[in-house]
Amino acid sequence: MIKIIMHGCNGKMGQVISSLVDDSEDCMIAAGIDPNVSKSNPYPVFNKIDDCDIHADVIIDFSTATAVKPLLEYALVKQLPVVICTTGLSEDMIDLIKKSAKKIPIFFSANMSLGINLLISLVKRASEILSDANFDIEIIEKHHNQKIDAPSGTALALADAINEALDHQYTYKYDRHSERKKRDKKEIGIHAVRGGTIVGEHSVIFAGKDEIIELNHTAMSKEVFAVGALKAAKFLAGKAPGLYNMDHLINQ
């Protein structure tokens, strides 16, 4: 039985994961961490990660960017594996994750959906095939009106995968209305839409002469991310220190 600490347990994703674990026979949530302790849960909830004294095998994090640093400090002291699902992290925080992964196992992915990670592989392959065909590349991502960061981490992961396939020759263009000029051939346009209750949509458009190729992924519920996070937690428990991602999980 894998014992999990749910960091951000009373947020939307934390509650979805808690519900998912209820139906699992090989794992349980031993404790939760959340500034909001008023919600009722079938496990003890602590206001701060440092107050948690419950034994566990792995931590799943769906919190906020500011909560990740104290989480990593706690995990290093306790020598606990961590699945980091929080998005909108700064470069400094990502560097801290990489440094921490030298001492503890950390699973870090821009998106926990298996489908999204398949999309990343597909757009990378498409970029390699179309690299000499003068296709313009645009990425459009859509999320609910409560999402704080823009563009999404997934949109950036898609752009990075494309750029890697194209020998890092491309720049990212976020804001077209600030200047009036034709798009550069060596740019990837990235556009964010925020509205309503959209769970998550990502489209990559390859626009060439007289033909358009479009690859899409639509998340219909938050459960797709919860399933991925739980799979990652089970994968990570007992692993050696290192930085793991969806490629490791898919190819295990």
Tell me whether residue 245 is annotated as binding: no
Of 69, 78, 124, 147, the catalytic one is 147
Burial of 166 (0-12, 13-18, 19+ CB in 10 A): middle
Q: Is 144 annotated as a binding residue?
A: yes
Question: Does the annotation place 167 within a ligand binding site?
Answer: no
28 annotated ligand-binding residue: no
Q: Which amino acid is at 41?
A: N
- Residues 163 and 155: their CA atoms lie apart, in Å, by 12
- 143 classed as catalytic: yes
Residue 27, annotated as binding a ligand: no
Active-site hit among 7, 142, 143, 202: 143
Is 111 annotated to bind a ligand? Reply is: yes
The structure tokens listed for 147 are 């999402």
Q: Is 34 annotated as a binding residue?
A: yes
At how many degrees (to 10) do helices 68-78 and 91-100 cross?
Answer: 10
Asked whether residue 112 is marked as a ligand-binding residue, the answer is: yes
Q: Which helix (H) or strand (E) holds 95?
A: helix 91-100
168 in active site: no
Residue 154 counted as an annotated binding residue: yes
Dist. CA 229–CA 146, nearest whole Å? 21
Buried/exposed code over 87-113 (b: 16+ C-beta within 10 A; e: otherwise):
bebeeebeebbeebbeebbbbbbbbbb
Annotated binding-site residue? 196:
no
Segment holding 56, helix H or strand E: none
Active site residue ranges: 143, 147
Which positions make up the binding site for (S)-2,3,4,5-tetrahydrodipicolinate?
A: 144, 153-154
Which positions make up the binding site for NAD(+)?
A: 8-13, 34, 85-87, 109-112
Which positions make up the binding site?
A: 8-13, 34, 85-87, 109-112, 144, 153-154
